[in-house]
Amino acid sequence: MSKPTIVTASVLLAAGLASAQPAPQKLTVGVFAPSVELGTAQQRLGYAQSLAKAIEQATGIKTEAQVYANVGALEGDKVDFAVLDAPCVATHGGWRLLANAQIGGATTRPYALFSSAGADMQALRGKKLAYVQTGCNDAGFVDNAMLESEVDASFFAGRAGKADLTAALAEVVSYKAAQAVFAPASAGKGLTKVFDTGAVPTPGFVHLGSKLPADLVDKVGAAVVGFGGGGAIGGWAKASRGEYQALAARLGKLSKAGILAAPDPVRLDAKDVLIEPPTLKDTALVDVRHHFVRPADARLE
């Protein structure tokens, strides 16, 4: 057997082993989407279990679901798949995105800053800000993505990171412990909108990198896209990472500089800047004899 034939055979053997990789006995799905109003803890778990059941029916593999209070615990449990809030998807580019959540028929939501203290930013100086704490670059999300790096960190007297959107809104509406909150535009009922802060992607369904056959991962993704869901998350769309990449770019500090316009060229005629003295055109000839003086007593020899 020639050397090229041996190499080809090795590649085919490796491919065959990869395709023959046994399917796992169990799959795990984690849910951490604090920006979505999925209801009580029991309702969140019910949604997660319904999604897991749809995956189990599509793959034939037992699938378990668990709702998490923070992304660190979810990563620590080494789940296979997860529903994660947009900042977490944006800050973990190595996770494979399989589907985008649809809320209100769209995969992004307009966000705004809402207030109980007034309709402008100056009314909020020295007040407290509430926000949904994801643990995925929260400071970058608030200061840069929401405030576009234009508000000093000391502008608000304090910040209250809450476990979910419901708790963040209640901090301003019910408990009066904070006077401002960042939230989806549709969620600020009873509060004054100060200004719009731009669109934020909905949660994403990702594969966290566990060693699973590629065809199985694809099958799970297809099952999620086909899952109708219900409640706050109305359905799922095919994966589109561009929205999360755009959010990732907004998480960094934005440095703004003034725009210097190139001046229009100015063309000058030399005659406009050089003034010719009129005397240059006057001729004044001096008589040659004026250059010689004859003494009175001089005689020609």
CA atoms within 13 A on the CB side of 109: 23
Token pair for residue 129? 């800000």
141 and 93 belong to one structural domain: no
Domain annotation covers residue 280: no
Let me know whether 114 and 195 are in one domain.
yes
Same domain? 70 vs 134: no
Own/partner long-range contacts of 214-219 (Cβ < 8 Å, ≥24 apart): 216/23, 216/59, 216/61, 217/96, 217/98, 219/58, 219/59
Residues 103 and 208 occupy one common structural domain? yes
Same domain flag for 143 and 163: yes
Share of the chain above pLDDT 70, in %: 78
My answer on whether 101 and 237 are in the same domain is yes
Residue range(s) defining the domain that contains residue 96: 25-107+202-249
Name the domain count of the chain.
2
Q: Under 8 Å CB-to-CB from 240, ≥6 apart: which residues? A: 97, 100, 107
Given a cut of 50, is residue 156 above it in pLDDT? yes
Mean pLDDT of 72-78: 96
The per-residue pLDDT for 6 is 47
In CATH, what number is assigned to the domain containing residue 49? Answer: 3.40.190.10
In the predicted model, what is the mean pLDDT of residues 150-172?
A: 95
**142 and 98 in a common domain:** no
Residue 18 falls within a domain, yes or no? Answer: no
- CB of 209 closer than 8 Å to CB of 95: yes
Q: Which residue from 28, 29, 47, 27 is spatially nearest to 37, judged by alpha carbons?
A: 47
The residue type of 43 is Q
Residues 140 and 36 in one domain: no
Write the burial class of residue 132 (CB in 10 Å: 0-12 exposed, 13-18 middle, 19+ buried). buried
pLDDT score recorded for residue 12: 42
**Residues 191, 195, 198, 200, Cα dihedral to 10°:** -20
Question: What does the pLDDT read at residue 271?
Answer: 61
17 part of a folded domain: no
Residues 134 and 189 in one domain: yes
- Residue 174 gets which letter from DSSP? T
Structural domain contains residue 258: no
- Residues in contact with 31: Cβ distance below 8 Å, sequence separation at least 6, in sequence order: 44, 47, 48, 51, 65, 66, 67, 68, 82, 83
State the average pLDDT for the chain. Answer: 87
Q: Same structural domain for residues 84 and 231?
A: yes
pLDDT in tens, 221-261: 999 999 987 789 999 999 999 999 999 999 999 876 556 66
pLDDT at 18: 45
> How far is residue 115's CA from residue 109's CA, in Å, rounded to a whole number?
19
**In the chain, what is the straight-line distance between the N-terminal and C-terminal CA atoms, in Å?**
131
Q: What is the pLDDT of residue 14?
A: 45
Q: For residues 231 and 263, which has the higher predicted lDDT (pLDDT)?
A: 231
211 and 242 housed in the same domain: yes
The C-alpha atoms of residue 95 and residue 239 are separated, in whole angstroms, by 12
Task: Give residues with Cβ within 8 angstroms of 175, minimum separation 6.
Answer: none
Instruction: Flag whether 16 is in a domain.
Output: no
* pLDDT of the residue at 193: 97
**Residue 274 located in a structural domain:** no
Is 103 within the bounds of a domain? yes
3-class DSSP state of 10 = helix
Sheet with 96-102: list strands edge to edge.
62-67, 26-32, 81-84, 204-207, 96-102, 235-238
Cβ count within 10 A of residue 99: 26
Residue 4 lies in a domain: no
Same domain, 207 and 99: yes
